[in-house]
Structure formats: structure tokens, C-alpha cells
Structure 1
Amino acid sequence: MNRYEFLKSMGLTGAALMAALTSCVHDDDSVVNALTISPVQSGTTTTPATSTTATTPTTSTTTATGNGTDLSAIKNRLLTVDLSSQAASELKKVGGYIAQSGIVVAQVSAGVYVAVTQTCSHEPKKQVIFNVSEFYCTAHGARFDLTGKGKNSFGSRGIAVYKVATDGLTLVVYS
């Protein structure tokens, strides 16, 4: 049941329904319809450095890329993805993402991956996706940058970002 259906079931109609539906929207919020945004075009995305470290309210992330990375030494694995598998086909293109085991992994630029929790901090719904150059919750429009920092009032609490390492064949998400 979404908010509209809930409010209607409570007997709200007309102007009262519209007032209730718009009461938690702020001027700085922008809602992005994730289903109608065009795919990332080459050369139009914000490209983070190949190796970054950023602190968020709950965790930190290190995005490691390149061949020669020793994945066997990684402890606290949360997710392991075989990049050659059909299930990971979306990760083969810049702007592509997968959501698996409560984690969203996206290729944000050529060979650079970022992983975040799929659970939104606005309300605990597993509806976070990657959308062009940011993470976006399809439930209420919470937006988050690549470091997990909120970009609007719905995303103000940020989301957890995980460490990612890849050797080009396998991708490991860990804490």
C-alpha cells in the first residue's frame, strides 16, 4: 500500500488528500522518475577518482580497480559477484547496476564500482537504485551522492557505502 492508498483508506478526499500528500515535500526536494531518465551517455557522467576514500555517517568506502588486486585477503565479505556471469551483465556498462543481497553495486565510470545499502535511510524500504550519477530511492525520491551523502531532505541521513575491490573478473563488496 502506498501513501496515496493509505490516506484514501483513512477517508481523506479532495483538498485534504492533496494537503496530506504534499505535506512532507520540501522546496529542495526534487523527485526523479527513474523509469524515464535516459541512460548514461559517454562523457556526461561525473567521474570519481579510481581510488577514493570517503567517510559517511555509518561507514567508509574504498573503490579499488585494476588487475592484480588480491581478493583472497579480503575479510568481512558482504557480496561476491562473478563479473562474467549473466546476473552481472548490467555491471559491464557504465551506469549499469545490480541489486543483490540488500546491496546496490553500480559501475559509476569505466572500471570504477560503488556499493551502497539497498535500504533507504528515509524509511527502511529496499528501493535504492543507481540512477545516472547518484543513488535514488524509488519510494519517496531520496537522493544520495556516490559517497552516500544525502542530496535532498529525504536523503539527509545518508546511506551506508561499502568497500569494493575487483580484479577485473570478480567483484567483492566488504565492510
Structure 2
Amino acid sequence: MKLQEKISRNNFLKQLGFTGASLLAIYGLDSCVNESGTTPIGNVTVDLSAAENAVLKNNGGYKVINSIVVANNNGTYVAATLTCSHEGQRQITFSNKEWYCTAHGARFDTSGKGLNSNGSKGLTVYQTSLSGTTLTITS
């Protein structure tokens, strides 16, 4: 390619019709999402007697349901968002009686309070209630 054929990135974008304002509008669209990185869940019910939820009968067992991590913590059910507040990774698990992000090691207690610097922003947790074998999770 000859030097005369090369154009700057700015000129290229201008030729495409992109100006600084339109680029800001495009990149700014994601600012309209929930800043916590989580979506309100309403009510989610889990049938604990169903075979696919058998892992939840075990102490420390957890399962991801609709972007929610549900866990059995010594017979009490706890639930949190799958999305870590550290860098938005969807890698929250339940281990050693706490929430843990496998991406960067953020740790949170079962109430969502951060336990290390990567978890300092906290974690969204949800209310749980048990009626018979039906677990209800609400935001």
C-alpha cells in the first residue's frame, strides 16, 4: 500500500460517518444497565425434591439456576448472583461456607460482604424461604 493510500483511523471513522459524539453514544449505551451487574430476579422457585436439584441436599452443595448460585450452608439455603462485583465475571461458586469467584479469587461471606480486596464491592445476595420442599428465592 502506498503512503498516499493510507489514512488515519480518525479519517477512516469520519468517512464511515462516525464522529466523536456518535462513538460516545455507541460506547455509552452499556451505561444504561444495572450498575451492580445483576438483574432483579423476582421470585424463583426450586423444587428440592426434583432429581436435578439433589446436589442441594448436601451440605456445601450448590447449583446455578437462572444466573443465581443456590447453596446449602449447613441446612440453610443461601443464594447470590452468579456475577462477581470485582470484574463482572460470571464465576461465583460456593466453597468453604462462603461465595468465591474462580476468576480472580474474590471472596464474600454468605451475606455478600467482601472478605478480601477483590471482594471489596460486595456481592448481591437474595432472600430465601423454604416451604416443604419448595425453596423460593427473591430479590
TM-score by length of 1: 0.55
Q: Give the drift of 1:168.
A: 2.9
Aligned 1:103-118 pairs, distance under 5 A: 103-110=68-75, 112-118=76-82
Per-residue displacement from partner, 1:19-56 (whole Å, max 9, x unpaired)? xxxxxxxxxxxxxxxxxxxxxxxxxxxxxxxxxxxxxx
Structure 1 counterpart SS, 2:49: coil
Aligned pair count reads: 99
Distance in 2 separating the partners of 1:114 and 1:168? 16
Higher-RCO chain (CA-CA 8 Å, sequence separation at least 6): 1
Partner Cα distance (1:101, 1:151) in 2:
25
Match of 2:130 among 166, 169, 173: 166
Return the alpha-carbon distance in structure 1 between the equivalents of residues 132 and 109 of structure 2: 24
Question: Which residue of structure 2 lines up, in the alignment, with residue 84 of structure 1?
Answer: 49
Q: Specify the structure having the higher radius of gyration (Cα).
A: 2
Match of 1:100 in 2: 65
Whole-Å separation in 1 of the counterparts to 2:90 and 2:137 = 18
Equivalent residue in structure 1 for 2:99, among 135, 138, 143: 135
Unaligned runs of 5+ in 1: 1-57, 59-75
Decide which of 88, 104, 114 is 1:150's aligned counterpart: 114
Secondary structure, counterpart of 1:126 in structure 2: coil
Residue segments in structure 2 that go unaligned for 5+ positions in a row: 1-35, 37-41
Letter in 2 for 1:123: E
- Percent identical among aligned pairs is 51
> Tell me, what secondary structure is at the counterpart of 1:154?
helix
| 4+ residue segments displaced more than 3 Å | none
RMSD between aligned alpha carbons?
1.1
TM-score by length of 2: 0.68
